[in-house]
Amino acid sequence: EAQVTQNPRYLITVTGKKLTVTCSQNMNHEYMSWYRQDPGLGLRQIYYSMNVEVTDKGDVPEGYKVSRKEKRNFPLILESPSPNQTSLYFCASSFEGVNQPQHFGDGTRLSIL
C-alpha cells in the first residue's frame, strides 16, 4: 500500500531533550516536506527536499533540522525542543514537486513541556 509513515504518532517530552520524528515513503517520490499545524494558522512548511542531499527552508525552519540521505526517508530533528514547538506535524511527499498533490502522513502530535 502506498503510504507516508511517520513515527512516533504521539510524543510528550521536556524542553531541551533532542528528538527525531521519522518519515518514510514507499512511492519513490522525489519531493518530501514537513509542516506544522497550529490552530488558526493552518499548515506552515518547515523544510522541504527536492531529492537526496537537497534540502531547503520553508517558512518556519527555526529550531528544526532535516536530512535526506536516502530517497525514502526524511527525518525531522529538534535538537533542543522548546514549548513553542508543541504542535501537530505532518510529513508529505509527491513524485516530483510541490505543484503536485501531496501525500500526507497521519501526523505526529508533539508536546514539549
Partner 1 sequence: AQKVTQAQTEISVVEKEDVTLDCVYETRDTTYYLFWYKQPPSGELVFLIRRNSFDEQNEISGRYSWNFQKSTSSFNFTITASQVVDSAVYFCALTPGRGYGNKLVFGAGTILRVKS
Site residues for partner 1 per CB under 8 A: 30-31, 33, 35, 40-45, 48, 50, 54, 56, 58-59, 88, 90, 92, 96-104, 106-107
Cβ nearer to partner 1, comparing 33 with 85: 33
Q: What CA–CA distance (Å, rounded) separates 13 from 76?
A: 15
Cβ nearer to partner 1, comparing 59 with 70: 59
Helix (H, G, I), strand (E, B) or coil at 113: coil
Cβ nearer to partner 1, comparing 44 with 65: 44
- b (16+ CB within 10 A) / e for 94-106: beeeeeeebbbbe
Grid coordinates given for 81: 525542543
Q: What CA–CA distance (Å, rounded) separates 98 from 73?
A: 17
Smallest separation, CB 53 to partner 1 (Å): 13
Cβ nearer to partner 1, comparing 77 with 88: 88
Smallest separation, CB 87 to partner 1 (Å): 13
Smallest separation, CB 43 to partner 1 (Å): 4
Smallest separation, CB 45 to partner 1 (Å): 5
Q: How many CA atoms lie less than 13 Å away from 101 in the CB half-sphere?
A: 1
